[in-house]
Chain A
Amino acid sequence: MTERPPRARSAHARSPRTTTQPPGTPAPVKGSTHAMANTETALKDAMTSIEGVIGVALVDYTSGMALGTLGGGKDLDLTVAAAGNTDVVRAKARTMEMLGLKDQIEDILITLGGQYHLIRLLSGRGKSGLFLYLALDKQRANLAMARHQLKRIENDLEV
């Protein structure tokens, strides 16, 4: 894969507003204002430090609702993505249970024609039951780097 200049993305990917509570969606009440800021920081970090990001969301898969979303815009409704990908995570967890696999899902990669969708399940105190969802532009993204950065963001995140 070719080296890309760091953070040389177009402005549109960075401009969308942060919504820790998407309009019209009652987000689950979790944590203090400190935790909210930290969720916001992690989402901003993902948006700016990962090449080719279209949108990112922190999702509670016990309810299917997003704790926070950033980016996406009109082409990618992250509230819909949060709900839909909750079903993906639940289906995989159930399949593993039926197969008798005593293991954890680390991440799930979905490859589209023009995008990568990356789901990273979080673990650790206060973070189980959550996943980070990342939509990437296939042309601009470096998948290995994205997974590496996402792991770092997970470690820094306190909910």
Chain B
Amino acid sequence: MAHEADVLDELARLRARLPDVTGVLASGVDGLVLAHDAPDTHPETLAALSSAGLGIGLRLSDAAGDRSFRELLVRGEHGYVALYAAGSACVLTVLAGPRINVGRLHMEARRSGAYLAHLLDGTADDREDA
């Protein structure tokens, strides 16, 4: 990918905007890491599982009669893992602590996902302040 530095910049910006986020990772639908900023994790494993999670999410929304999968939120006792579809070939994975403001997480991560789609797919950048 030609845009790895740009992707990494966007991941850093996302982390800076959300202090309760503990790690972010962008991976391809093939399960390979594009860029990550997720200390104390195993990015390759996360990327592979994110890809699998994306597949589950797609099939779930498909089975529910709606093919337009956007995101998947997993809540554990000690935090959240959120997956956001970012264009046709990428998934954005966000790890967050249990005190995260989920409303803001969605707002910021959806925006980042749209920007990653713009970087990787060349679709229009629809961020209002881009």
Is the C-beta of B104 less than 8 angstroms from some C-beta in chain A? yes
For the complex, is B118 an interface residue (Cβ under 8 Å from A)? no
Contacts A80-B107, A83-B107 known; A65 to B70 CB distance under 8 Å? no
A56 interface contact, C-beta 8 A:
no
In angstroms, Cα B107 to Cα A26, docked, is 12
CA distance A64 to B104 in the complex (A): 7
Complex-state Cα separation, A86 to B106, whole angstroms: 14
Number of residues from B at the complex interface, CB < 8 A: 10
Q: Is A84 an interface residue (CB 8 A)?
A: yes
- Contact of B103 with A26 in the complex, beta carbons under 8 Å: no
Q: Is B101 an interface residue (CB 8 A)?
A: yes
Residue on B nearest A82 in the bound complex, by CB: B103
Query: What are the interface flags for A56-87 relative to B under an 8 Å C-beta threshold, 1 for contact and 0 otherwise?
Result: 00000001111000000000000110111011
Assess the B106–A25 pair: CB atoms within 8 A.
yes
Instruction: Decide: B70 and A64 in contact? CB cutoff 8 A.
Output: no
Between A and B, 10 residue pairs with Cβ closer than 8 Å are A24-B70, A64-B100, A64-B102, A64-B105, A65-B102, A79-B103, A79-B107, A82-B103, A83-B106, A90-B101
Contacts from A to B (Cβ < 8 Å): 24-26, 63-66, 79-80, 82-84, 86-87, 90
Q: What 5 additional pairs, Cβ within 8 angstroms, besides A86-B101, A90-B101?
A: A24-B70, A25-B106, A63-B103, A65-B102, A83-B106
B residues contacting A by CB (< 8 A) are 70, 73, 100-107
